[in-house]
Amino acid sequence: MHIVILIPNTDENLGKNLRIGGAEKQILRLLPTYANHKEIKIDLITKYTKYIPHSNNIIIHQLSSNSILFVIQTFFRLFSINKKQEITILNPHILGITIIPCIFFKMFVKTQIMTKISGEIYQLINTRTKNHLIKALDKIFVKFLIENSNHFQALNNRIKEDLQRNYNVPTEKIHLIPNAINLDDFKYIKKMKKITRFGYVGRLEKVKNIFLMLEAFEIVLQKNCEITLQLYGLGTLYNQIDSYIKSKQLENVIKLKGFQTNAHEIYSSFDCFILPSESEGLSNSLLEAMALGIPVIVSNIAGNMQLIKNHRNGLVFQVDSVKNLSNNMEKYINDQNFAEKMRESARNDIELNYSSKEVIKKLLIIYKRIQ
């Protein structure tokens, strides 16, 4: 079986570039596991990478960083790759321009396109621009990409329902495959302290709902003066958030930590992880927190609820409710035993369903079914 994966960038050192996100990190996590399956050959086409494969069944193709040139080069590179070994499946990992060369290649060579959709489609369209004309053209473009893909990897049920309802994609063409995590990189934290340090890891963008979290924190702070909040990440709202913290004179208890790469250093700096997003595919940060055994609080959107079941492995709050979030924060502060149960259950769920080995098993079953 010969799979060609296409994605713009595959290097976590580019994390400061706001275009680099969870989809790229997922490739880095899956490639070492793919390397253990010698029956599969993987060709990865990307714009930039420092990843060096340690297996003969993975080949990296680094093409132009210019988007137009990347599309043209990819089209011709696919023929070159196919000449050496027939391509079974083309697997673009972002719903975007990387699918274009796949569509044109498929006009000449019989193969399958399985597109991974990493975020909710309406958000992909609505957050790119405020210009109504460009949004309309974007909708047409996305519709074209979807209509010309044969199969889809959906990260959550919301994406699956969107494909069915708005794009008439048959159920058998949509495969629910989650993001993965390498458990060896995220060892379970055995001892947990009293919850006083809250944290967030991710982009600082409007869709992440950061200001609602700040308001909730202020409410909880009034009753619990020992608590702190740490925000790890960069984004277009960084300066605005910084100004808000200073205007409220909260610099001593809310810290903007910027971009950092050491996951253990990040997560060990807080006792509870909050993900207040308005939209998520399947958050890598949430997977990481659960794997390490950090109690979590998440908004009740599809991507989060794919992972978290309220009061079973974490706490869920209404995405627009400051009070609901603040109540959940106080629940963890006041009930250490409950927090312990939540984090243990979360880690167990990660081990059973979201390890890179388990996700690759699911992908291989799909690949074999559709080839």
Give one DSSP letter per residue of 242-303, joined into a string: HHHHHHTT-TTTEEEEE----HHHHHTT-SEEEE--S--SS-HHHHHHHHHT--EEEESSHH
What pLDDT was estimated at residue 129? 57
What's the CATH fold of domain 183-353? Rossmann fold (3.40.50)
Instruction: Say which CATH class 2-180+356-370 falls into.
Output: alpha beta
Spatial CA neighbour of 254 closest among 270, 231, 272, 236: 231
Can you name the residues that pair with 355 across neighbouring β-strands?
A: 181
What are 233-284's pLDDT values in tens digits? Answer: 989 999 999 999 999 999 999 999 998 878 878 888 899 999 999 988 889 8
pLDDT at 286 over 50: yes
Give the range among 55-64, 152-161, 185-194 with minimum mean pLDDT. Answer: 185-194
Residue type, 299: S
What pLDDT was estimated at residue 265? 82
236: Cα within 13 Å, side-chain hemisphere: 8
Collapsing DSSP states into helix, strand and coil, what is residue 20? coil
In angstroms, the CA 300 to CA 155 distance is 16
pLDDT band at 96; cut points 50, 70, 90: confident
Please compute the mean of the pLDDT values over residues 142-164 and round it to a whole number: 92
136: Cα within 13 Å, side-chain hemisphere: 3
Please compute the mean of the pLDDT values over residues 213-223 and round it to a whole number: 96
Give the range among 120-129, 198-207, 282-291, 301-310 with minimum mean pLDDT. Answer: 120-129
What are 17-64's pLDDT values in tens digits? Answer: 333 467 777 888 888 888 888 889 999 998 877 777 778 899 999 888
What pLDDT was estimated at residue 115? 95
Top-confidence range, 9-13, 121-125, 352-356: 352-356
pLDDT at 344 over 60: yes
Report which DSSP code applies to 19: T
Does 2-180+356-370 match 183-353 in CATH topology?
yes
- Percentage of the residues of the chain whose pLDDT score is greater than 90: 63
Q: Are 189 and 264 in contact (CB under 8 A)?
A: no
pLDDT at 357 over 70: yes
Q: Are 210 and 237 in contact (CB under 8 A)?
A: yes
pLDDT at 335 over 90: yes
pLDDT band at 359; cut points 50, 70, 90: very high
Collapsing DSSP states into helix, strand and coil, what is residue 92? strand
Q: What is the pTM of this model?
A: 0.85
List the chain domain ranges. 2-180+356-370, 183-353
